[in-house]
Amino acid sequence: MIDARTVILSPMQERDLDEVLALEQASFTEPWTRKMFLGELQGNTFAVNVVARVGEAGYGTGLAVGTLLGYVMFWVVFEELHLMNLAVCPEARRRGLGADLARHALSVGSEHGVRTALLEVRASNLAAIALYEGLGFAKKCLRKGYYDHPREDAMIMTFLIEKGGATMLNEDPAILELARRESSEFKTLEDTHHRLEVQLGELNKRHFLTAEEEQQKKRIQFDKLATRDKMAAIVRALKQNRTLATGPSA
Ligand SMILES: CC(C)(COP(=O)(O)OP(=O)(O)OC[C@H]1O[C@@H](n2cnc3c(N)ncnc32)[C@H](O)[C@@H]1OP(=O)(O)O)[C@@H](O)C(=O)NCCC(=O)NCCS
């Protein structure tokens, strides 16, 4: 939970970029360039870019009020959230801010009707993977040789959000594991959902779609929602069975 006295969140502006670029370069082996950041700030209507700075009560790190602590950047594309970038300055790490920024992204997404969050992370970035797993993201698959400098696979992770914003995975990750184990239909639906997600991701990367491709995209979005609804129904039924089996809690 972000306390506004210690951390101030605000939309990233061009005037933030010198500090943001310094943190980006300190955080990644293949950092985004100024041009890439400007592209997100100026030319991308789906993008939400947020910086975190030390609030008036300080952040307990000796960093001056107003110092950049970190940033999170994400796209809200219809019912999907793509987490694009997340970094926390080295002096402020392991105090919960990275998780809070990712949670902030999910909460903004949820307000905008997002149903699925998706991200790519270097397979060797165990800190970030642990952070995302802690929030309820699940590992989906590896995208081979996705990154350069050094060449490395990307781990694709997803997070499902229930209708109305209640998070399915956050509530009880164990129930999803149970669903995978006990329902072959759930597993098939999950695979289908992932396949549709990848197809949609490919279409979303394109700057121009033909009318036919636009239609295809709508069909994929519709199928994805339907698939997700079926998955949610299976999870609901499992939860209900579990409650019936264990009886009401005291
Ligand atoms: C990844 C990063 C954003 C984490 O930020 P942070 O503020 O330190 O993260 P948090 O304090 O919220 O950590 C939340 C959880 O993530 C995991 N985690 C974070 N850093 C970790 C580390 N160095 N090693 C192992 N687990 C780690 C832990 O499970 C942690 O919970 P815990 O502290 O209760 O054990 C930060 O290390 C960073 O900026 N790294 C470089 C950029 C980067 O890799 N970004 C992610 C790109 S996908």
Residues marked as catalytic: 120, 132
> Does the C-beta of 88 come closer than 6 Å to ligand 1?
yes
Instruction: Identify the sign of the CA torsion 46, 214, 230, 193.
Output: negative
Q: What's the whole-number mean pLDDT along residues 229-242?
A: 83
* 209 compared with 121, residue with greater pLDDT: 121
For the chain, the straight-line distance linking the first and the last C-alpha, in angstroms and rounded, comes to 29
Domain closes at, from 109, 137, 170:
170
Bigger pLDDT: 130 vs 168: 130
156 lies in the same domain as 181? no
Tokens of 227: 């698939």
In which element (H, E) is residue 65 found?
none
Pocket of ligand 1 contains residue 203 by CB under 6 Å: no
15 close to ligand 1 (CB < 6 Angstrom): no
Report the number of distinct structural domains present in the chain: 2
| Residues 116, 27 share a domain | yes
Residue 21 CB less than 6 A away from ligand 1: no
- Residues 155, 179 within the same domain: no
Same domain, 77 and 146: yes
**Does 131 contact ligand 1 (Cβ within 6 A)?**
yes
Q: Residue 102: its pLDDT value, please?
A: 95
The average pLDDT across 126-130 equals 97
- 244 pLDDT more than 90: no
Output the pLDDT for position 172. 65
Range of the domain at 10: 1-170
Which ligand 1 atom sits closest to the C-alpha of 131? 16
For residue 222, what pLDDT is reported? 77
- Nearest atom, ligand 1, residue 87 CA: 39
pLDDT interval class at 99 (50, 70, 90): very high
55 and 87 together in one domain:
yes
Give the pLDDT of residue 211.
80
Tokens 């008036």, located at residue? 56
Encode pLDDT of 40-70 as tens digits.
Answer: 999 888 999 999 999 999 998 899 999 999 9
Are 59 and 113 members of one domain?
Answer: yes
pLDDT attached to residue 118 = 94
SS3 (DSSP) at 2: coil
What pLDDT does residue 247 have?
59
Same domain flag for 132 and 183: no
Same domain (yes/no): 77, 197: no
Q: Is residue 162 located within the same domain as residue 199? A: no
Sheet holding 47-54, edge to edge: 7-11, 47-54, 68-77, 80-88, 116-122, 152-160, 138-147
At residue 122 the predicted structure's pLDDT band, cuts being 50, 70 and 90, is very high
pLDDT at 248 over 60: no
Domain termination site, one of 108, 141, 170: 170
* E strand intervals along the chain: 7-11, 47-54, 68-77, 80-88, 116-122, 138-147, 152-160
Residue 37 burial (10 A CB sphere; 0-12, 13-18, 19+)? buried
Given 147, 170, 193, the domain boundary residue is 170
Report pLDDT digits (tens) over 189-208: 888 888 887 788 788 777 77
Give the residue carrying structure tokens 């950092």. Answer: 31
Q: Atom of ligand 1 at shortest distance to CA of 23?
A: 39
- Here the CATH number for the domain that contains residue 70 is 3.40.630.30
Instruction: Tell me: do 212 and 244 sit in the same domain.
Output: yes
Query: Do 180 and 159 reside in the same domain of the chain?
Result: no
Distance 38 CA to ligand 1 centre (A): 26
pLDDT digit string (tens) for 129-147? 999 999 889 999 999 999 9
| 119 lies in the same domain as 141 | yes
Span of 34-43, 94-103, 216-225 with lowest mean pLDDT: 216-225
Whole-angstrom CA distances from 25 to 61, 160, 223, 230 are 21, 31, 40, 43
Q: Mean pLDDT score of the chain, rounded to an integer?
A: 87
